[in-house]
């Protein structure tokens, strides 16, 4: 399920520094994380929605790729985003 424009704008401002910086890796990871949470809630209620499940797997894979890129480029920014979003244990 899609996230609202207000939530997306809030995430962009929080992780990007200003409302126009949508290309920053941290912003993309934060938006994907919000979409993953939304889709997970949807799939709890609609467990036979296989199309949404495929979309969830795609978003998880994309977030994983962005996280591995960030880990290779700047480990401190990677650790910070992991801590802020509480993605991994």
pLDDT of residue 89: 46
Per the CB < 8 A criterion, the answer to whether 23 and 32 are in contact is: no
Supply the Cα-derived Rg of the chain in whole angstroms. Answer: 14
Number of helices (H), then strands (E), in the chain:
4, 0
Residue 5 lies in a domain: no
In this prediction, residue 64 carries a pLDDT of: 97
Q: What is the CATH number of the domain that holds 37?
A: 1.10.287.10
Residue 19 in domain: no
Q: Which of 15-19, 71-75, 79-83 has the lowest mean pLDDT?
A: 15-19
Per-residue pLDDT reduced to its tens digit, 33-43: 999 999 999 99
Range of the domain at 29: 25-85
Instruction: Choose the weakest-confidence range: 15-19, 48-52, 75-79.
Output: 15-19
pLDDT exceeds 80 at position 73: yes
In a domain, 32, yes or no: yes
- pTM (2 decimals)? 0.93
């Amino acid at each position: 399920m899609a996230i609202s424009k207000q939530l997306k704008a809030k995430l962009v401002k929080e992780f990007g520094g200003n409302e126009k910086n949508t290309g920053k890796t941290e912003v993309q990871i934060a938006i994907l994380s919000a979409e993953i949470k939304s889709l997970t809630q949807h799939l709890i209620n609609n467990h036979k929605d296989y199309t949404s499940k495929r979309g969830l797997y795609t978003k998880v894979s994309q977030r994983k790729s962005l996280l591995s890129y960030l880990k290779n480029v700047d480990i401190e920014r990677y650790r910070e985003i992991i801590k802020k979003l509480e993605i991994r244990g």
